[in-house]
Structure 1
Amino acid sequence: MTLQSKLDAFKADFEAGKLPFNVPPSVIRTMHRATAELIASGAAAGALRAGDRAPAFRLNDPEGQPVSSATLLQRGPLVISFYRGVWCPYCNMELQALQEALPQFEHLGASLVALSPQTAVNSRKSVRQNALGFPILSDPHNDVAAAFGLRFALPDYLVNLYKSLKNDLPAFNGDPRWTLPMPGRFVVGQDGVILYAEVNPDYTRRPEPDDMLPALRRAASVPA
């Protein structure tokens, strides 16, 4: 079963009220409105693309240890996934799919990291909850996400909805600003140039991990 098939099945159950918690139709309509407006804004067009140079970053893992993109790129190509946080079920399913694909990435000499704006405590929860074997890095204020063109501010009506659902992003992220990254996936070559980029303002849509393998094979000069 593909990652997107799993996401679609979860979304269908979520919107049909088949999960342990029942979500009112008004909440679903508000979420649809916010996604549609973000798509219509064209924000995704401002994200970095294949051929652009990736911004360098140095961020902390959940134990407070710095992880540098430059150091990782000395070893081989780098896969970077931007996600919203451990509170997002779609993100957790994506992280699990990336974990399953990790041996393929490593076989091609690549490293994998995932970035979110959440605090170290919540990053540790991401690792534990999803049984991850790759670094989860905290991106304070979504600054690295902004450098990749992914950061956006939530509209007031969505902030109010999140507050009503007790989804306190300032507490999750240790940041009073209500911002999130659009989910994004990048493959960066050792020269710092982006080889693959996929950004979608619809948080329920994520690329398959296998979609990155051709770029990783080119970077590693491995035939398909």
Structure 2
Amino acid sequence: MTGLLVVTAVPAEAEAVRTGLTDPTATVVPVGVGPALAGAATARLLALAEAAGRPYGGVVSAGVAGGFAGRVAVGGTVLAGRSLAADLGAESPEGFVPVDELGMSPEMLGGTIAVDADPALLATLRSALPEAVVGTVLTVSTVTGTAASTRALAERHPDAVAEAMEGYGVAVAATQAGLPFVELRTISNPIGPRDRGAWRLREALAALGTAATALDALRTGTR
């Protein structure tokens, strides 16, 4: 076992994680943006490690995210109780219909559109990060950018605290490999109309480095 595989989207997130994570058995890899790329890259990394006889013991999706106003503050830390594919489905006159409500069998869906965090890993991080907000983290392929779409998404997912673009893809790869998974995010901006001037990316990356210190506690929790 080679410890944790920590997957981020971009190099800046990976560098932030490395500033806080000291576990020498952990590997931090930026794999790209979006659920498809993140999932494929994570699956390849897991397969290569297993083939080399050095399988990982757990997988973490880490990075910055947008947060739902009133549910988590900019600069705050989020732990995903589950990672959910929020825009996998179909439009209808009545609104968005999740893919698991379209009459497809579980086999056609590959299981579920939401992956729960591993209870042991989540509990360990909650203990190490008592100020973190726990809730559903949505995975989207298109970042929410209007007040109307933000309102609709918040109403559809009342337990959601943040949205990002990779968690569900990474979670599926980990689940397919039979490995425990958890998602850790820090908030750079409120979800809604895009205002790059209001983003606090530097602060969110600094917060990610601080939160990443908690990942050392997972070393004994991986298998």
Q: What is the TM-score normalised by the length of structure 1?
A: 0.30
Task: State the structure with bigger RCO (CA 8 A, min sep 6), 1 or 2.
Answer: 2
The structure whose residues are more often helix, as a share, is 1
Name the TM-score, length of structure 2 as normaliser: 0.30
Question: Whose strand fraction is larger, Structure 1's or Structure 2's?
Answer: 2
